[in-house]
Each structure stands twice: as C-alpha cells, then as structure tokens.
Amino acid sequence: MAPKHGPRRAQIAFSDTAARQLETVTSEAEIHALDRALVVISVDPDVGTPLSGTTTDPRLRQYTDDLEQVRVLYFVTALRTVIVVAYIEV
C-alpha cells in the first residue's frame, strides 16, 4: 500500500523586489525564520490576512510571525498552486 501524503504545497515564487530583499538576508537565524514562514504559507495560503484596500483578485495578503519576527506580503494565483511573494521583512 502506498504511503499517504499530506496536502500538496503551493510553489513559492518571488517578485523582483522580494528577490532583491532575499539577497540581503545573510544571517542563518533570519534565513531559518523566513524559511519557516514560507513553509507555513505554502501549506495554507489562506493563513495570512487580506490587506485592506485590495478587493480585486489576486488579493494581497500579509503573513506575520511575531515569534520569528517575519512579515511576508504575498498573493496566491487563481489555481492556488503558486504563491508570489511581493515583500519580505525579517
């Protein structure tokens, strides 16, 4: 019998701005914190809160992890298979 797998994770992609911000993250602790936040978002794209003023799809969402001190702005594609990260704060 084949092993059961959990739900499929969405793929993470970065906007040009987020990619440049990612290049400035050098601390291993910051990388670990950001990685944990991205895993949470990829497993459950609805975990973030919609930002006010964004009423058209795709809606910009914000995920904040106060424990790890990470903030990620992102939106989810229509098929919910790709999450585009627009902004990163670590």
Q: Which residue has the higher pLDDT, 17 or 2?
A: 17
Which pLDDT does position 54 carry in this prediction? Answer: 60
Quick check: is 46 in a domain?
yes
Asked if pLDDT for residue 1 goes beyond 60, the answer is no
Residue 2 lies in a domain: no
Note down the domain range covering 15.
11-89
Residue at 74: amino acid letter: Y
Q: 6 lies in a domain?
A: no
Whether 43 and 76 have beta carbons less than 8 Å apart is answered as: no
What CATH number does the domain containing 80 carry? Answer: 3.30.2310.20
E strand or H helix at 54, and its extent?
A: none
- Give 26-74 pLDDT, tens digit per residue: 899 999 999 999 999 999 998 999 887 766 667 889 999 988 899 999 9
In a domain, 4, yes or no: no
**pTM attached to this predicted model:** 0.83
Report pLDDT for 5.
65
Domains of the chain: total: 1
Asked if the structure places residue 38 within a domain, the reply is yes
Question: 58: exposed, middle or buried (C-beta count within 10 Å: 0-12, 13-18, 19+)?
Answer: middle
> Looking at residue 17, what is its pLDDT?
93
Would you say 11 and 83 are in contact if contact means Cβ atoms under 8 Å apart? yes
Paired tokens of 24: 């400035």
Of residues 76 and 78, more confidently modeled:
76
